[in-house]
Structure formats: C-alpha cells, structure tokens
Structure 1
Amino acid sequence: MSRRVAVLRGRLAEPVPGGTRKDVLLRLTGTSAVAGLLSAALVMPWVGGAGLVARDSAAAFMDMSGNLEIQPLAERVLLTDADGDPIAEVAERERDVVPLDEMSPWAPAALMAIEDERFYEHGGLDLRGTFRAAVRTAMGNTQGGSTITQQYVKNLLIEQADGEEEVEDATAQTLGRKVQELRYAVDIEERLTKDEIMEGYLNLAYFGQNAYGIEIAARRYFSVPASELDPAQAATLAGMVRAPSYYDPITRPEAATKRRNMVLDRMVDTGYLEAQEAEKYKAQELKVDVTPRGGSCFHSEQPFFCDYVMHWLRDSDALADTQEERDKILERGGITVRTTLDTDMQKAAEKAIKKYVPGDESTKFAAEVLVEPGTGRVRAMAQNMSYGFDEEPGNTSINLAVDKDDGGSHGYQAGSTFKPFTLAAALDAGLGYGTSFNSPESTSVSGMRNCEGGRMATWNVSNAGESSGGTHNMVSGTKGSVNTYFAQLQERVGLCETAQMAEKLGIHRADGAELGVWNSFTLGDQEVSPLTLAGAYATFASRGTHCEPTPVTSIRFEGEDGRKVEVKPDCEKVIETKVADGVSHLLQQTFKGGTTNGLGIGRPAAAKTGTTDSAAYAWFAGYTPNLVGTVAVGDIRGGEQHPLQNVKIGDRYYGMVYGATLPGPIWQATMEEAVDELPEEDFAPSPKTFGDPSPGRPSGSGDGGDA
C-alpha cells in the first residue's frame, strides 16, 4: 500500500476465496487460460509430478526478454512568439505530466480500489487477485485480473507502438501477448518503485475526450487540477480507465454515475472511505464542469500561424532528417518551438484587416503577411476570418496566406504585383529606366516564345482602369501600372526570361503546379499566396538576397535530451545588387503621383498595387528596407465567380475594388504601427548604370543607357 495513501485509510488484505488454490484451479478449467498458465508455471511447482514441468515453465518464463524501454510520455509541442511568450500548445495526445505528490491521494486510492487493491503488496503478478477475479468470473460476475503494473505495461506498449500493427500486437487477446506482458511487469517491478509505477500509470492512462493522464482528465471533466480531486471525482475518473467511452460522464452520465458509485463502494470495502462518506458522495450528481479540449491550433491565440508552423515543422530538416523521425517527434511532443511571430506586428495587422474587411458573416476575405528581409522570418500572418471547421460565413480552417501544402488555398491571381519581375528581368538584361514604348489604351504583341521555344499567339492587351495610355518608360510605366507598356517590355526582354526571374525571386504557384509561361505572365495571372509574394519582394528589399520564409528561430528538446537547435536563415544571392536596387527605386516612385499615392507611411517605402481582370482579387505589396508586407483581398468562394464589383464591405459600398482601394489602406495602417520600433532606413541610391532616375523621361529609342 502507498505510504501516502495509507495515512488516509488502513486496510487488511482479503483471503483468497473458494478454498485451496488446487480447488480453484480445478473449477477454472476452460474458464481462464491465463490463470491456468500462471498456475502451471508459477503456482503449482509443489503439486505432485507436475512440479518438474512447472519449474521448467517458470524458468522459460523468466528467460523471456523483460527489458521494456520506458520512453518519455507524449506531451505537447509548445509554440512561443519571438519573445518567448506562449501562443499555442499542440499535442497528438493532450497530456500534462505531473508527479505523484501533485495528485490528490484520492486518485491512486480510487484506482487501487477498483483495479488492484493489493498493488503495494504484490510484485507485479497478483496471484491472489487473479484467482479472485477468475472465481468471480466463473460465478458470472466478470472481473478483470490485470494488476496496475500489467495495465501500465500494456498502456506503455500502446503509447510507444510504431504504427497500427504494433498497436494491434499490444492489444491482441492472445496467450502469448499476455505472457509477454506479465514478463515485462515482473521486470518493471524490479526497476521501478511502486510510487514510480503508480505515477507513470496515472500520467499514461487514457480517460477519453483526448484526455491523457490524470491532470488533463481532471481539468477536462471537472475544471480542477489533479491535486484538487475529491473522492467522488477521483472515483469517476478511476472508473473510466477500463472503458473511457462507455463511462464518459459527458456523453453517458448514467453509466458514469453507476460506475462511480461502484468505485466508491470498493473504496469502502478496501478501507479508503467510511460508508457514511461514500453514501454522501453517491448521493451527489456528477457535477461535471467541462474545460474545452485543448492541444490543437484551434485553441491557439494564433490558430492560422500555429497551423502554418506545424506544417513547416513536419517538412523541416531542422527538426529531424527524415519524415518518419519528424512525425515521431511531433507525436511524442516535449519540444518548445520559438517562432518568429512579433506580437505587436501581429496585432497591428489584425486591427487593420478587421477595420477595412470585417470577417463576421462575410464571404469577403483579407489576408496579410509581414516578412523580414535578409532573414525570411515571418513576423505576422493575419486574416479577417475566424478559425473553424463549419461552413458559416466568416469562418474557415484554410490559412488564406500560405500555399496549399502548408494548409492554405490554391492561391489567387496576383495581378500587377508581378510587373516588378519584368522590371527585374529587364534591368538584369541591361535595359535602362529610359526604355520606352508607345503604350496606347490597347495594343497587340506578337512573337513571344515560352521556355520550350514554342511561339505564342498574338496577344491583344488593354490597360486597366488604373492605367493611362501614351508613351511610357520604366518610371512612368511603373507609376501608372500601364499594361500595354509592360506587355511590350516583357516581349523585349523575353517571356521565358521574365518567368525565370520570378522563379529566382522565389515565386511559385500556391497549388504546387509549375508556373504557366504564357503571354499574360507579366500581368500576374498565376495563383500565388501572400507569403510567397512577400518572400519575393523581400529579395528586392534585401538587395538581391532571397531568403526562404520561415516561422521558426529555435527548437528546444525538453527532458534528458535538453538540446537546442537554432534555425538559421536559408538565404541565397539570386540577383545582382544593382538590379534589386533598381527595382526598389522604380517602386518608390509609385508614391509620387502613382498608383500608391497617398498610402505612404512616413518613411522610405516601395510598393506595387495589383488588380486582376474584373477585380477578382486585389493586392498590395510594399516594403521598407527592413520589413515587407503583402495584402490580398477577394471572396473565399472564388473571386472569378464573385468579383470585387458592386460590393458592400464593412460599412462601405465599392463599385470596383482596386489594389489601392482596400489592400493599400490595410497595408498602410499595418505598416505605420509595425515599423514603429524598427530603425528608419533609406534605400540605396539608384544605380547610375540604369540611367536618369528622374520620373517620366522616356528615351525615345527604347534602349537603356549607361551613365
């Protein structure tokens, strides 16, 4: 008996019922194969000539491997923000391991009363208890015969099983499995103290409702820690371990009450409770006070970012080298992941989005991402819709800011935010700012070839509402986002070269398909995610170095391991510094009477708007030298079928939503707060090699010149 529990109640061991052991064995023939095996191997060495066989059987039993490795119990994956403050706990099995002396003593008392009253007296194989259970079973009153140690072994084997096959082996109703379980139990008793076994069992056991261990079970069903369980609550939980679903006090209160009362009666029989006390508790209702299930991103303060981090961890070599190893670590838990999330920036993004595109009862969405140039660290990830799994308006489980493989959507056409990739390709090819074309309201472009050398059909292209016709160069064409100018610039530099430049900068489709290389590439008819676009624009901000967006800075393994893995930025120089600086110079001009006019943030910034055909989606992508932000607005049902035309969003009616109409103000409001604690930095000067940086001076020749 536990020395702690013994202080509560003393009790006397019961005698074995049913006469001598030999008499019991004869009555149990054919009733309990396991009891028969134990009797032959361990009980009957003194019974006649059977002794030699029995001794041989016992020797064979002890020669079996009994070394069961006890791995750390599966716990949660703790996610923190960049400052180390918790933002989420994620667990395949929701569990909080607590020591025995932090559990109410009524918990082990109730468990022993109903499962193994002689736990502190036997060595893992309780022959008296086995015989008693077998006798009662033979008499029609089915009883379990496994000791707490045996149950602990079985639960350990299930917990540590690698795949469904090992789970089936651990639960198989076979004599061989039972014998091996018994052998492990003997070994466990030799290696651990009784209190250690009891502690292990109560932390390991499953109590239903995704509650693993007594601590989570106490909080789930009664909203108290395990240290505060009273006898009735402890009896309810102890009664569940045999059949958690059947005795669930939430879904089957009558069955749970009957089982609780049985446990309370057994606590009287075993000396843990006075009969009067038990009757008092039996007269009470269950008094269930449910704490909602945790252990998932659904319950996180930042559910969408949490979901993105978990997808990233499953795919990251920083966690482990193989997919199998990563899956095991995330299932086992016991790691603390420090993410890149800046809580202040996140709040700024959330506030701006909800101000301009309220998510309540709306199908219109807004999603925003902030990324740090030079590291790729994702500083914020916000959207207007709530995290959930029903189909109500304003509710979604899809992370609208990331790729499909990261828990996101198939992406959205990015519109004119793709035009800077054509600028980069042109500057990289040696063309200058003065490269000019007659760019009327509409024109035809022919002769372009894809990357396989296929000749494209003639392309008829027109300017959008935010563009104006006339002769334009890179500066004026960018300020006005002139479609007919960029169509001709793409033809000059090459369609394939433009697409390859976009890929260098980190652009890829959100649905995982290859980029489509066709005439309208420069106008952004590819479906991408806000995160991908932010990573590409961060390449311009960091002067030509592309860093893969990452949400994690470190991973610390808890327990005996204790190691810490620092996640370093994954960066590569992909374009020349002068090319990146040239694009940044051109995109700064949009604030000077261009498409982003009036959306400044009080410090140097560069940006580009984007609106797709018929306003299916609207975008804004902008940056300072030390922070990038992208915003996408659309309809979650599909922008092509539900365009941003003649719509009411929030309290305002819009005939047509352009990139500067909604995404621009969201970006502006976010960035004004997000950069507040960042140093104000200037962009590098415009590279002289690209010619006169002054706006609106076409060269006439269409060729760039060197200064």
Structure 2
Amino acid sequence: MLQRISQLVLVSSIAGLLVAALALPAVGGLGITARNIAGGFLDMPSNLETPPPPQRSTIYDADGGVVAEIFDQNRELVELDDVSDEMVHAILAIEDARFYEHGGLDVSGTLRAAIRTMGGNTEGASSITQQYVKNVQIEAATSQEELDEAREETISRKIRELRYAVALEQRMSKDEILEGYLNIAYFSDGAYGVESAAQHYFQKPASELEIHEAATIAGLVRYPYLYNPRFFPEQSLERRDTVIDRMSTVGFITEAEAEEAKEEELELELDTPPNGCVPSDQPYFCDYVVQEIEKDERYGPNETERARWLRTAGLEIHTTLDPQTQEAGQDAVDKWVPRENESRKVAAQVIVEPGTGRIQGMMQSRNFGPDEGNIGETSINFTTGSDRGGSTGFQAGSTFKAVTLAAALDQGMPFSTNYSSPSSTTVTGQRSCNGGTLPSWSLSNAGESDGGNHNMVSGTQQSSNTFFAQLQADVGLCETIEMAETLGLERADGTQFTESENTLANNSFTLGSEEIAPIDLAGAYATFASGGQLCEPQAIDRIEDHQSGTTINIEPECEQVIDEEVADGVSYLLSQTFSGGGTADGLDIGRPAGGKTGSTDGTAAAWFAGFTPQMAGAVFVGDPRGPQEYPLRNVSLGGRSFGQVYGGTIPGPIWQETFEGAHEGLDEESLASAPSQFGSTSGGGGGSDDDPDEDASPTSDDQGVPNVVGQDESEAVSNLEDAGYDVSVSGTRVASDQSEGTVARVNPDPGTTLPEGATVNVFLSEGGGTAAGDEGPEPVQPALPTTPRERLF
C-alpha cells in the first residue's frame, strides 16, 4: 500500500511539474526544474499507434445470412454519434468528468486521488486518455512480455502512459479519443466495447441506452468482475446508483432524474453472440471456412497470424454456401441417417457447382462437438480430407467406374465396346505402374448383373463388375489410375494413388478400392458435368477487411483437364443409370441428371454421386469406427430396418431429395448430347441425343430391341433371336408386377438400337410386384480369395 501511495504521489508531482513547465513561464528555480523534467519527459517516445481494437468476424452464406461469428473478443465498433448522450455522460461522470477540459493529464484529479488514497480510500488517477492508452498497449501486445509490461504496476509504466497521453491529445480530437475508449474498454462478462455491452446486457444498441442502463454499463469499467451483474447483482446495483449520483453531482442530470433512475429495477436481458462453429447451424461448412483461412498463405505469413487475423480483424467473410441447398441436404441426411442413431452410422454429403468449384452445401448427420464418445457427436468433417479437418476417407466402391469410362473414352473406345460379362471371371496380366505384372484377379457379380454381354451403356446401367474389370484391363490399370488423378481424386490422407514409379497398383481400382473424401468425388463428377473443367473446391467468394480497407476477391481456379467430348461421353453414360433397370432406377429428380451408385464388399460403405448442369454432389454412408468392422448390415435407421445398405438404398435417396429441393426454382438445363465420335448410343434419358451415329454399325431391326416384357421365356428368346440378337437369360429373378416366370424387363430397353449380334439381357419375374421406393439394390459380390481392397463393387 505504501509503495502504491508513493507511486501515486510521485506521478502527481510529475504531472504538476509538467503542467508548470508547459503552462507557466520559467520563473526562478521552480521554472528551471519544471522545464528540465518536462524536457526529459517530452524526449520520451510518443508515437503510439492506435489501430482498431479486436472485433468479431462474421461468416455469411451466399444470401447474406449469418453462418457464424468468430472472435477472441466480443466487440462491435460503433461511432460516437451512435452512442446515447446518457451513456456518454455516465462514462464521463464516473471516469473523467473534466475530460473535455484537461489536456490528457488531469492534475487536480491525480492529486485528489493521491490524497484520498493516502487516507485509505483508494481511487484511480487515470484520465480517460490514459486509460485508452493503457488499453491500446494491452491490445497491441504480441507476446506475454509485452502484455506484462503494459499491465505492470510501476512508476515507469505510469510515466510512459502520461507521455503517450500528452502526444495523443495533440493529434486526436477529444471525440476521437472518447470514441476509441468506448470501443476498446472491457465491460465484463465477455463484452468488449459499449455496443457489445449494450447488446449483451439489454439487447439494444448503445444509441438507445437510458440513464439507469448506461450507468450500469459505465460502472463496470473500474472492476469488471466485482460489478458483474450476472454474478453480483447487489454490488452491480450499488455501483449503478453511485454512477447515477455522480452524473447528478457534475450536472449531467437533475436530482429528480437521478432519483427516478435509481428506482428502476436491474432487469437484464443477457444475450451473448455464439462464438465459433460449434453453435452454428452449418458447423462443418463453418469449420471448413475457418481452416481455409488458417491454412492459406495468401492470408498471412503463418498459421498463427492467420488465426489471429480471422478472430480480431472484424472480417466480413462472404461464402459460397447456398442456404436452399444446405437446408435440403441437411434435412435429407438427418431423415435417412438420424444424428443420434444407436448403430452410430453417419451420412455425409457435399455439393459443388460445376465450372466454378463453389461449395453450395456441406452437411452430415452429426452434431458438431469435441466428444467422440457421445453418440451423434464429432468434430471430424467426413466430407473432406485430413488436410481440412476431415477423415482419412472411405472406399468409394462403384462410383470409381466413371473414372474407367473416362479413361476408355479418352483412348477413343466407343460406347459399343463390349465383353462377355459372366457372373464370375478372372482377369490376368494387369500391370502395376512400375511395369510389374499383378497376380490374377478373380471377381464376381450377383443379382441383376448376373451374366450377359455388356457394352458401356448396359455395363454402366447394371454396374457390372466383370465388365469393368475387363474394360480396365484393356484401358490399362496405370492409365485408369492416372485418369483418377487427372480428375482431382486422391486418397483422403493427402497421398496420391501413384506417388512414385515403385507404387504398387491395385487390381480392383475400378471398383473403388481407394479411400477418398466426398468433396473430391463431387469435384470429379462436376468435371463431367462441366465439359471437362476441374475446379478447386471454393468456399469463400470474398473477404472484406474493414480495418485495412481492403477486399479480397476469390476467383474460381479451374483447368480443362479432359477433352470436352470425353466428359460429355461419361455424362451421357451416367445419365443412363436412371433407366433400363439401372442401379439408379427410381432415383431420377424430374430433370436431366447423371449419377452412379457405389457399394463396397460386405456393404461396408455405400455411396451415391450424381450431377445436373447446375450442381454435383457425393453422398457417403458408413461407420466412422471402421466400415469393415461395423458394416451396413442389419441396421435400423430413421425407423427403417435394412438387411443390407447399398448405394441405391440410402445414399441415393439422400441425393435425390437433396437435389429435388436444391433445384426448386431453377431453370431446367439439359446435359450435353452424346458425342457422335463414340458411335451408337443405347438407352434414353438424361437429356442426351439418343439418335445413333449415322456412321455406326448397321442394326438388326429399324425398330430396335423388341418389347418382350410379359412374354414367357421361350417366346421372348425366340422373338429376340429372330430380331438378330444374342440372348442371355439371367439366373436370378427380380421383383416385378409381371407374372412369375415371365419377362420382367430386358436390358437394353425395348426400342434400343443395337448392332446386329449384340446381346440382350433378359430378366425373369419372381412375381409379387415391386415395393414402392425400392431402388433395386446394387449387385453384391461374395467373398473372394483376395485382399479386402479387391472385393468391391
């Protein structure tokens, strides 16, 4: 106590001498002494910078809605003109009533404080200008050493503040200093600045504060914790009344107004803005945006500086998130895979815009939180890779067959490329990227893909494993892998499929043996929808930095990676899966689209990837604890029980409902026509040109495949053979409204134009009809004597 009293007296003496030196003529010894002290004092550094204090940054969606606010300090800057007179008078009365009269050093106030302190009644001695200086130094500290120096209770710190205060009063107006002080001061309970304090305690702007409210806030500055009205309402009320009395004493209000104000109850309406991504309605997209800023060198020299910039600069971050798409997608994933399901399964989906890479939606069926032990809670973003807070990925299953199609078309193979695709086959001779020969690969189909001769159209429709294994062998395994990388696909752990010439390739690459992230798969499918343009995922459109007065505009980063005709060809083939008994049959959205189901061996994971000209998306469903250990078998989700979950069982409906909702109000656009260079097309839909190329092989019948649905087996086979086609009758019967044993459907569809001698696959009915909403599960592959990566479809 004695040390503090002596320091205060010393500062008061220095202040008095400074005033004497600056205001009085040099008379006698006193004048000489004062001038000497003042000269040394004025030689001290005085160039105190006063940058805007830390404030909240806000993330907005594409429509201007708030996604989240990010801050170290809850502060919103306000101009002095937007602060009520009552608030200004309250802070002046209790902190520095002579603020507009002195020059930064309130000598009489300092001496008065010294006398009262020596008498046992501790009183502060700092003017508002000095307090502002101290707060500026605290906020400017970039190390603990600088912070300790700004807060130290020493005479040297006090004298330094005095010097800065004198200089500040010479270059800033009183109103500017008061405005800065009101914006930087701490008003307890996490509220920095008078505007945030008004909103926090009374849910109103600072411009509307009344006397009793302003006095409550002003009273917090001296001891923010002690007078916190949330925890110490009695002390806060007593302090409020002290401020009101002081306002009356100095003449800001009358005694009658003071008495009336003190009669008001301390009625708080506490409201703290949610900070960060956890309370956001779009937490995973929010987290992605935060990581984009913290990891991108364009926003600062290192991650620490970038994180500080984000949380203190009051940024307006305008993102690509489309609220209509986000809402439709979140509703769909929550409906089909509820967040707190006992089986602990998760659905994750991401939607991007073809041709720009703008992320329009990012959602998953989990609450955002750090405790992975809580059912339905995770901080891992399963839509993205490990470099952006995501997982190490999941095997993509048959969605990768689109990559093989792209590689085949890139080599000039026609749509009519066909193979005898039996229920089981063995592929030999595939070579690794280092030139070595891989072991023989045995694989199988089941269900609707059993047997038959398939070309690219029917093989894609039926997701035939044996067809794509042979297609990959002809294209080249390494060439297929290179196409995947060309399309922006990589392992979700950040490594590429072919890191070096010694990397061993997997026979089953075309069946989706690699662990990837949905955001990369969505980007690859967007490449097909955009005519071959691969775009980097983009979450931010622009950042407005009001502290520096700059705006950072983010332009799409796109590159033409495959020929437009190749992309259009794949797009056409993927559009055929919605018809002809394809694996996406029943998942159409009422407008041109392309898509592909994907499931892994043993139904460990299930996928759906699809697109329209306006958006492309990928859906993953699985178990984060380990898909192989916790497969999608015998699970109950959303009140439904599933023996097995395939790409068309849950991921497909999620994609379908998302895209239906997201496209409401959008014009219908067609996919590109099937390029003529790839020859005759078969099957319809997708908005593509279904007319055969006039240079294509001659057909067996101008009317195409006869309609034999409903006929018995022998009659149907006879009619098809008479039309010039080979016939393959599936050994597995399918659910159908047709009578048992009669033809349920054929592939390709009736009316399809095929070359003479092409194979038509016939599926017989098991009777009993088709259940509403039954997408027809993708073929299951039985266990094979190969590694887990090679048992996918």
**TM-score interval, smaller chain:** 0.7 to 0.9
Matched, 1:249 2:229: yes
Deviation at 1:27, TM superposition (A): 11
- In structure 2, the residue matched to 1:66 is 46
> Aligned to 2:576, which of 577, 584, 589?
589
Give the alignment partner of residue 235 of structure 1, picking from 215, 227, 237: 215
Higher mean alpha-carbon deviation, 115-124 vs 687-696, is at 687-696
Query: Cα 1:536–1:163, aligned 2, differ >3 Å: closer, same or farther?
Result: farther
Contact 1:436 1:699 in 2 (8 A): no
Conserved 8 A contact 2:20-2:31:
no
One-letter identity of the residue aligned with 1:537? Y
Matches within 5 A, 1:277-426: 286-316=266-296, 326-327=306-307, 329-359=309-339, 363-388=344-369, 392-426=374-408
Instruction: Report the CA distance shift for 1:144/1:548 in structure 2 as closer, same or farther (over 3 A).
Output: same
Which position in structure 1 is the counterpart of 2:559? 572
In structure 1, C-alpha distance between the alignment counterparts of 2:583 and 2:154, rounded to whole Å:
75
Query: Partner of 1:382: helix, strand, or coil?
Result: strand
2:492 aligned residue: 510
User: What is aligned with 1:19?
Assistant: none
**1:657 maps to 2:637:** no
**Partner in structure 2 of residue 614 of structure 1:** 602
Conservation of the 8 A alpha-carbon contact between 2:368 and 2:379? yes
Q: Does structure 1 residue 553 correspond to structure 2 residue 541?
A: yes
Partner of 1:605: 593
Matched, 1:538 2:519: no
Distance (Å, rounded) in 1 between the aligned partners of 2:169 and 2:576: 76
Contiguous gaps of at least 5 residues in structure 1: 1-24, 702-707
Question: Looking at CA atoms only, which structure, 1 or 2, has the larger radius of gyration?
Answer: 2
CA distance in 2 between counterparts of 1:358 and 1:466 reads: 30
Moved more, 530-539 or 218-227: 218-227
1:202 to 165, 182, 204: 182
Q: How much is the aligned-residue C-alpha RMSD, in angstroms?
A: 3.5
TM-score by length of 1: 0.85
CA drift at 1:699: 11
Return the alpha-carbon distance in structure 2 between the equivalents of residues 530 and 308 of structure 1: 14
- Alpha-carbon distance in 1 for matches of 2:145, 2:3: 37
Structure 1 Cα separation of the partners of residues 413 and 157 of structure 2: 76
Corresponding residue to 1:668 among 645, 656, 677? 656
Distance 1:167 1:28 in 2: 24
Does the 8 Å contact 1:88/1:306 carry over to 2?
yes
Instruction: Tell me the SS of whatever aligns to 1:337.
Output: strand
List aligned pairs for 1:6-155, cutoff 5 A. Answer: 29=6, 34-35=11-12, 37-38=14-15, 49=29, 52-155=32-135
Report if aligned partners of 1:464, 1:483 keep a CA contact under 8 Å in 2. no
Tell me the distance in 2 between the aligned counterparts of 1:255 and 1:411. 56
Match of 1:247, SS? coil
1:671 Cα deviation (Å)? 1.8
Range that drifts further, 516-525 or 592-601? 516-525
Contact in 1 for aligned 2:584/2:652 (Cα 8 Å): yes
Query: CA, structure 1 residues 461+155, in 2 after alignment: closer, same or farther (shift >3 Å)?
Result: farther
Question: Who is 2:787 aligned against?
Answer: none
For normalisation by structure 2, the TM-score amounts to 0.76
Match of 1:705 in 2: none
In the TM superposition, residue 68 of structure 1 has moved relative to its aligned partner by 2.4
Please list the CA deviations of residues 2-43 of structure 1 after superposition, one character each: whole Å capped at 9, or x if unmatched: xxxxxxxxxxxxxxxxxxxxxxx9995466554455456556
- Give the letter aligned to residue 307 of structure 1: D
Q: How many residue pairs get matched?
A: 676
8 A Cα contact 1:345 1:670, kept in partner = yes
Q: CA deviation at 1:213?
A: 0.9
Amino acid of the structure 2 residue aligned with 1:248: N
On the 8 A contact 1:620/1:631 being kept in 2, the answer is yes
On the 8 A contact 2:7/2:155 being kept in 1, the answer is no
* 1:150 positional shift: 1.0
Task: Report the Cα offset of residue 376 of structure 1.
Answer: 1.2
Distance in 1 separating the partners of 2:276 and 2:311: 12
| Equivalent position of 1:428 in the other structure | 410
CA distance in 2, matches of 1:360, 1:335: 35
Residue type of the alignment partner of 1:215: E
Contact 1:268 1:275 in 2 (8 A): yes
- Superposition deviation, residue 201 in structure 1: 0.9
The offset of 1:571, in angstroms, is 0.5
Displacement of 1:293 in angstroms is: 2.6
Deviation string for 1:30-65 (max 9, x for gaps)? 665544554565568989857545422311221233
AA partner of residue 658 (structure 1): Y
Q: Indicate conservation of the 8 Å contact 2:366/2:377, yes or no.
A: yes
- Tell me how far apart the structure 2 counterparts of residues 319 and 191 of structure 1 sit (CA, whole Å): 32
Change beyond 3 A, Cα 1:650–1:210: same
Cα drift, residue 621 of structure 1? 0.5
SS in 2 for 1:290: coil
Percent of aligned pairs sharing the same letter: 51
Q: Match for residue 481 of structure 1?
A: 463
Tell me if the contact between 2:341 and 2:637 (Cα under 8 Å) persists in the aligned partners. Answer: no
In the alignment, is the contact (CA less than 8 A) between 2:186 and 2:193 conserved in 1?
yes
Displacement after TM superposition at 1:304 (Å): 3.0
Structure 1 residues 700, 153: closer, same or farther in 2, change over 3 A? farther
Of the candidates 678, 683, 698, which is equivalent to residue 690 of structure 1?
Answer: 678
Say whether the 8 Å CA contact 2:351–2:360 is kept in structure 1.
Answer: yes
Q: Separation in 2 of the partners of 1:651 and 1:145?
A: 69
Q: Distance in 2 between matches of 1:352 and 1:299?
A: 21
Query: Equivalents in 1 of 2:448, 2:296: separation in Å?
Result: 42
Equivalents in 1 of 2:102, 2:467: separation in Å?
A: 88
Partners of 1:136 and 1:700 in 2: CA distance: 109
8 A contact 1:436–1:700 mirrored in 2 = no
Q: Is the counterpart of residue 495 in structure 1 residue 477 in structure 2? A: yes
Report which stretch shifted further, 46-55 or 235-244.
46-55
Deviation at 1:502, TM superposition (A): 1.2
Q: 2:634 aligns with which of 621, 639, 646?
A: 646
Could you say which residue in structure 2 is the equivalent of 1:528?
A: 516
Could you say what secondary structure the match of 1:553 adopts? Answer: strand
Contact 1:600 1:668 in 2 (8 A): yes
**Partner SS state of residue 331, structure 2:** helix
User: Which runs of 5 or more structure 2 residues have no equivalent in the other structure?
Assistant: 499-504, 684-747, 749-753, 759-793
Residue aligning to 2:140:
160
Deviations 1:456-485 (A, max 9, x none): 555444446674345444333322222333
* Structure 1 partner of 2:667: 679
Amino acid at match of 1:346: Q
**Is the alpha carbon distance of 1:624 and 1:538 closer, same or farther for their aligned partners in structure 2, counting shifts above 3 Å?**
same
The alpha-carbon deviation at position 607 of structure 1 amounts to: 0.7
Cα distance 1:283–1:444, how it changes in 2: closer, same or farther (>3 A)? farther
CA distance in 2, matches of 1:188, 1:66: 8
- Distance in 2 (CA, whole Å) between partners of 1:157 and 1:294 is 27
Cα separation, 2, equivalents of 1:571 and 1:637: 35
Distance of 1:165 and 1:526 partners within structure 2: 50
Quick one: distance in 2 between partners of 1:614 and 1:331?
Answer: 46
Q: What amino acid maps onto 2:357 in structure 1? A: G
Task: Find the residue that maps to 1:369 and give its secondary structure.
Answer: strand
Alpha-carbon deviations, 1:58-101, whole Å to 9, x = none? 11221233232332343333443334455444434332222223
CA distance in 2 between counterparts of 1:172 and 1:99 reads: 31
